[in-house]
Chain A
């Protein structure tokens, strides 16, 4: 069964731009950043919209529902602090953006393209909660 990583793995170091994202994760909210002018969703926290060059971007709350775009199952981790197997994945959210995450709550051979998923959050340290996705 694929499970969240225990506390002790390397944790993200938020930047000023990404702070709202990680604050959302700690409150159980998956947030994304969208341009107020053209509606384009930023690929990562930004100050300028890459599509229309507007400087007006706002954070929105995602439904946390999406589907599996691509995945891998890792058996040789980059650092010994990771427990294998685990399944890094690209998730397509219903709002139309893609993000990196990891799948939990199923067997590795249960992973398939377009599998419906829903977000859940697990602690990686005292302050940082990581979004994971579970089949639904």
Chain B
């Protein structure tokens, strides 16, 4: 059987300027900027777009005069890339625009960002928020495997240093960081110090998918979708995020994403050893240790020693989150920062990264989500047509 995405190409990517605050922008206007950038990168006109996906899809249809046009309102990163790929693969669209952006959403700085504060009746009274939910997963891993704050700090320092050298990162030039710097920052939700956590910022991100036939004339080298899948264990921030929560299989919620990764690797005919660069979603330092285990880059319980040995640093066995991720590059709210793992993967495979380019990268693994939120998505990209 032919690969489902044999005729699907990632043809354009674009990130707007990212900043702690983008003067004069709201989520809609920055999403438009991202969309136009990705269309220009692909070399297509708005009138070529057959389908739009993203929270602002309706506004884009109207504002760029795309109608009549397929519109999918779904919001989250890798799943909407896969939805877009399905539209192209099934012949329902030749060119798909995926766009996201966040600005002017986080204004009350006496509270944490609005998207981090759950209102569910079983968690709201306990002061839970994203950092605390993820800390509950991290703590359990520490209990089971002896994972240390020092090991988590190694992750945070590595990713923040990737952002430190990246001129496009919101926290460009803020480092370099040592593990001691991470451990010396104030505690947010034990074991997470401030510098173990994602930051908040504003910005937009967009991706254009197209048929391989259309993309043959496009300016950028094509990047291919080799496989992808999503795991969920239920609604985020409503029930206790217990590591050992299980559903229909014996894979625990602590390893959410493992099943998706297996699916993606099978579709691609690849193994973790074949991956050249991992653009892992990094809401908290521990999540990288967890994902390395979940995706099979190291054995269960060995994520801590694996990062301590320098394997995720530039030049290491599997460089991780090479632009600085949500800790240093950008974290613009709900979706843009999830799509940015994909755009960075594309840039690595194009060989166009200004900093931390992995030499001759031909396979990239991108991820979204995280254990505290009970979902993880995986996408495998490559330079070779599947």
Contacts and interface: CB of A to CB of B under 8 A. Distances in A.
A14 interface: yes
A76 B136 contact: no
A86 interface: yes
B242 A90 contact: yes
B230 to A, nearest CB: 20
A71 B126 contact: no
Nearest to B190: A73
A113 B245 CA distance: 17
A70 B242 contact: yes
Interface in A1-21: 5, 9-15, 18
Interface string B219-234: 0000000000000001
A11 B189 contact: no
B242 A88 contact: no
Contacts of A5: 125, 127
A82 B187 CA distance: 16
Nearest to A50: B247
B279 to A, nearest CB: 27
A44 interface: yes
A9 B125 contact: yes
Contacts of B126: 86, 88, 100-102, 130
Contact of B129 (A75, A78, A113): A78
B52 interface: no
Interface stretch (B111-119, B201-209, B359-367): B111-119
A78 B122 contact: no
Interface string A115-136: 0000000001000101000000
A70 B132 contact: no
A71 B122 contact: no
Given A12-B121, A99-B240, A102-B126, A70 B143 contact: yes
Contact of A70 (B112, B121, B136, B186): B136
Nearest to A18: B121
**Most B Cβ at <10 Å: residue of A5, A75, A90:** A90
A23 B90 CA distance: 52
A72 B124 contact: no
Interface in B181-214: 186-192, 194
A8 B239 CA distance: 23
Given A72-B132, A74-B127, A43 B239 contact: yes
B188 A76 contact: yes
Interface string A70-108: 111111111110100010111000000011111000001
A114 B220 CA distance: 56
B188 A75 contact: yes
Contacts of B190: 72-75, 108
Contact of B125 (A11, A75, A99): A11
Contact of B123 (A74, A76, A79, A100): A100
Contacts of A100: 122-123, 126, 128, 239-240
A7 B238 CA distance: 22
B136 A102 contact: no
Contacts of B139: 70-72
Contacts of B129: 77-78
Contact of A75 (B140, B187, B245): B187
B186 A90 contact: no
B143 A10 contact: no
A69 interface: yes
**Most B Cβ at <10 Å: residue of A11, A77, A80:** A77
Q: Kindly list the 10 A-B residue pairs having the minimum CB-CB distance in the complex, ordered from nearest.
A: A12-B121, A72-B135, A78-B129, A73-B190, A70-B140, A90-B240, A82-B127, A113-B143, A76-B188, A78-B117
Interface of A: 5, 9-15, 18, 22, 43-44, 69-80, 82, 86, 88-90, 98-102, 108, 113, 124, 128, 130
6 contacts: A71-B136, A75-B186, A75-B190, A77-B112, A86-B127, A130-B125
